[in-house]
Structure 1
């Protein structure tokens, strides 16, 4: 089943996108900072969400990991 039709998988994909963008922005900030507009701006915004809401994002990642472990 596609991740777009399974809500838990969609949340997992969004969390992974946010975490990956925040990590890339921390290591290579110029890559995302020069692309704030357009389609690449989505990654810059995801990095901002990951940086500013990092405690909540990490709690969501732990919750998703536990729910995946318990669900299987």
Structure 2
């Protein structure tokens, strides 16, 4: 089933995107900073900002998702 139609899979994809964008932004900030206001690439920059500012909540959500994935 596609991740668009399965809510659990959609949440996993969003969490992985946030974590990946945050990691890329901490390692190579210039890659995402040059696309702040450019449509789709700007969304990746915004996901990186969410990951940086809400990192305890994002990491907690990743832990909960991992435990949920191991239990199912």
TM (norm. structure 1) is 0.96
1:56 deviation in Å? 0.2
TM-score, length-scaled by structure 2:
0.96
Residue 18 of structure 1: CA displacement? 0.1
Q: What are structure 2's unaligned runs of at least 5 residues?
A: none
Instruction: List, as ranges, runs of 4+ consecutive aligned residues in structure 1 with deviation greater than 4 Å.
Output: none
Corresponding residue of 1:21: 21
TM-fit CA distance, 1:39: 1.6
Q: Which runs of 5+ in 1 are unaligned?
A: none
